Every structure is written in C-alpha cells, then in structure tokens.
Amino acid sequence: MRIIVAIALLLGLQAVSAAADPMRVERTDPGHLRALSRSFLPPEVIPPRMRYVRSQAVYNLPNGLDGLTRYDAALSRLCQRGAFGQETDGFYWARTPDRRYGVAFSGGANLADPQNKRKTGQVYFFDGQDSRCAVYVGEQAKLMPHYVGP
C-alpha cells in the first residue's frame, strides 16, 4: 500500500510542477489578435483622374465640300491601312448639311502621319476612320472664310 501512496504522491508532484511551469501557455491573450497599429486618421481617398476632351467644330460648310476640297485616292488608301489619319477621331470636325467630317491640319494638329505625307497649308477632311476611309484635301487659305474658331 505504501507503494501505491508513493506512486500517487509522485504523480501529484509532477502535476503540480507542470502547473507551475512558467513557459506553458494555457490560452492566447486576446490582445494578440488585434492589428499592431491603427491610425486614428481616416484613410485618404484619392479621386480618380478623368480627362475630359470635348470635340470642336472648326469649319461650317453650308454648301458641303464642293469646290473647296478634292478627293485624294493615295491618302485614302493610306488612311484605310491606318498609316494616315486623325489622332482622335472627330476631335476637330467640319459641319456640312448632310454629314460631319473629321478634320486634321497639316501643322500636325490631330494628324497621325508616320510617313510624312502632309503638305504645308493643307487641311485634311476624313469621312470615316476605318477600311472605308475617304480623305479630302483643301487649301487652308481658301477655307478660312468658313472657319469657326473656339
């Protein structure tokens, strides 16, 4: 019987020593579950940058393009291939009674011309900006009476 009491006493001492072990953690401190640093300032909201571009009528042609421009087949073929055209389709435009034409200037305003086919003093009118593109060329001096500036 002494052996049984000795074994029970020995087991009891081991249980007490395990409970007194400072390295043993019974449960996690709830403070460990929070974020480390919280700012009291509200988060900065940066508004998205938007760029508004308004198209602008530059010519008012009450009789259309008749007598003021000529059809250019070579530039029309380049336009159909994407090698001559407007930077932004319809950014500048000409108003006629039956349709609206995109406009680009020989000085480079709204003109994409990687092959440098433009000529000084010319204004280019675009009917479409796709595989059916037609380019009409007019003299800037001749078109000045019809100019509608900003």
pLDDT tens profile 103-125: 999 988 889 999 999 999 999 99
Residue 141 confidence (pLDDT): 92
pTM: predicted TM-score of the whole model, two decimal places: 0.64
Amino acid at 51: R
Output 110 or 14, whichever has higher pLDDT: 110
Long-range contact pairs involving 48-55 (C-beta distance under 8 Å, separation at least 24)? 53/88, 53/91, 55/90, 55/91, 55/92, 55/93
- The pairing of strands 122-127 and 100-105 is antiparallel
